Structure 1
Amino acid sequence: MKSSAILGSAAAALAVLSAPAQAQFRSALEVSEATARETANAQKQIDQLDDQTASLLNDYRANLKQLEAARRYNASLTRNIEAQERQITRLREDIDNVEGLQRAMQPLMEDMVARFGELVDADLPFKTGERQDRVARLSGILDDPEMSAAQRYRLIIEAYQIEGEYGRTISAYEGTVNFEDQELTGEFLQVGRISLMFKTPDDSTLLIYDPAAGGWTNLNRSYLQDVKYAMRMAKEQTAPDIFFTPVKPPVQAQ
């Protein structure tokens, strides 16, 4: 607006000047107009450069944030990798320790199985086939390459637990015995580990196992009703109650 007023004043002044002066003035006026245009163009360029500078600055700041985020992420990855490497080292040490423990456990398990077999042989001969099969299975797993030491040890402990239960329960089951050169079929009554009896279905034969004699002997028939009652208890055919059972003294282990 101010420039237009100046140019208007210059045009008015031009009207009162002589021809040579007018030519000089017009030339100066053109130079002034050209300078004004150049100044305006320069200002536009400055404004554009200012906008570009601001945009570049924003991009730079954004890149700095991304770089910082990348640095933190890399630092986090480094910590995770280091933690995993420490864990791998510990696992390798644990594996070495486990392998050493397995080597130490092998002779222990062999002794446990051998002792288990000795206990079964020295015990009352109840459920003989089942228990001897268990001993054979335990002997077979000791060198089984497909089983870990932990699995073998667990099976051995389970076998000991089953044997332990025999000493706290009564059981009635069918089977045969050899007595006086005869094979008799009947029913056994196992009372923990303190007594093992046998009777035929017709109650004509009533026997008790004598550890000291290493065989079966006749049992006084006064125990027949107690034996039959205990058998019904073992089969859960009657409520638990007190009953009398004969006891033969055990043989002392050597």
Structure 2
Amino acid sequence: MKLSKIAQACLILSLSTTSLISHATPSAESNDKQLNQVVDAGTQINQSASQSQQRVNTISEQIQTKLQQFKTINKEIDGLTVYNQQMNTQVANQLKELDQIAVSMEQVSIIERQISPLMARMIETLENFVALDVQFLTTERNQRITDLKSMMERADVAISEKFRRVLEAYQVEVDYGRTIEAYTGLIDIEGSEQNVDFLRIGRVSLVYQTRDGKKLGLWDNASKSWKPLSAQYRLDINKGLRIARKQLAPDLIIVPVVQNSAE
């Protein structure tokens, strides 16, 4: 059976189309595979870039931390430099002081050798002064001198403390000359020992009055004895005793005064 020309043409076209499809299908699959490979490669590159960026960030943070530490250490170094300069200056001054102390220590032994005889002479002078002075608080003042002599023989008392005690005794004697004082004591009056009130006004006047107020006396330092005193001074002496005992406000009083050889 013979085909018409139109049928032959359609058959030829059909066969050509089938042939083209059979040849085109393998080529598309190949392109998809290549595209997937490209996408995978891009993904790997992005992941690698992300990891690299993370490493860069970490390194950058470490660098910033090290930089801050560096700046902090530099500040500490600057502070230590200034501190060392100050310490060097202080050390130099302390070395000078040590030299001065060493010189002073060499002189201490010399001073100690000189001050001990000086204190002995001061105590002796004070003892002579008390013996020549107006005879008030005799027991107390002599006991103070005895204590000073005993202290000078003690090895457990420093030289400075001994000198302080001697100066203190001198200060007490100085204060006697500018104070008023009332105290009681025993005195021999006409062969009879009696308890009397003493009134001391500085070192210019030392008087007594018996408890009954009948007898008055004045210390005469020239003769080292008590002299009878006129009764006209009784009121002033009583007033002076009350002033000395702080029982009366300070006021003008009239008392006898004698020239003392110790002055």
TM range, normalised to the smaller chain? 0.5 to 0.7
Q: Are residues 94 and 184 of structure 1, via their aligned partners in 2, closer, same or farther at CA, if it must alter by over 3 Å? A: same
Are 1:232 and 2:236 matched, yes or no?
no
Distance 1:79 1:169 in 2: 54
4+ aligned runs moved over 3 Å, structure 1 = 71-87
2:155 — aligned with what? 145
The DSSP-based 3-state class of the residue aligned with 2:134 is coil
Counterparts of 1:193 and 1:76, CA distance in 2: 60
Deviation of 1:89 (Å): 2.8
Amino acid at match of 1:242: L
| Deviation, structure 1 residue 84 | 4.3
TM-fit CA distance, 1:173: 0.5
The CA deviation string for residues 4-29 of structure 1, in whole angstroms up to 9 with x for no partner, is xxxxxxxxxxxxxxxxxxxxxxxxxx
Percent identity between matched residues is 29
Q: Give the distance between the partners of 1:76 and 1:215, measured in 2 at CA.
A: 73
Residue 146 of structure 1: CA displacement? Answer: 2.1
1:174 paired residue among 184, 189, 194: 184
Farther-moved stretch of structure 1 (176-185 vs 114-123): 176-185
Distance in 2, matches of 1:234 and 1:80, equals 57
User: What are the superposed Cα offsets for residues 196-245 of structure 1, whole Å, 9 maximum, x if unpaired?
Assistant: 11111111221111112211121111111111010001011111111111
2:174 to 161, 164, 179: 164
Within the alignment, does 1:106 sit opposite 2:126 as a pair? no
Residue 123 of structure 1: how far off its partner (Å): 0.9
1:59-89 Cα distance to aligned partner (Å, 9 max, x none): xxx8xx8xx88x9698887776665444333
- 1:201/1:86 Cα in 2 relative to 1: closer, same or farther (>3 Å)? same
1:204 maps to 2:219: no
- CA–CA distance in structure 1, aligned partners of residues 165 and 252 of structure 2: 35
Q: 1:76 to 1:251 in 2, by over 3 A?
A: closer
Matches within 5 A, 1:1-254: 84-251=94-261
- What stretches of structure 1 of length at least 5 have no aligned partner? 1-50
Distance 1:200 1:252, change over 3 A: closer
Note closer, same or farther for the CA distance 1:103–1:223 as it changes in structure 2 (3 Å cut). Answer: same
- Which sections of structure 2, spanning at least 5 residues, go unmatched? 1-58
Aligned CA RMSD, in angstroms, stands at: 3.3
Residue 181 of structure 2 aligns to a residue whose secondary structure is: strand
* Equivalences, count: 202
Q: TM-score, normalised by structure 1?
A: 0.67
Cα separation, partners in 2 of 1:96 and 1:244, compared to 1, 3 Å: same
Post-superposition offset of 1:163 = 0.8
Q: Which has the larger radius of gyration?
A: 2
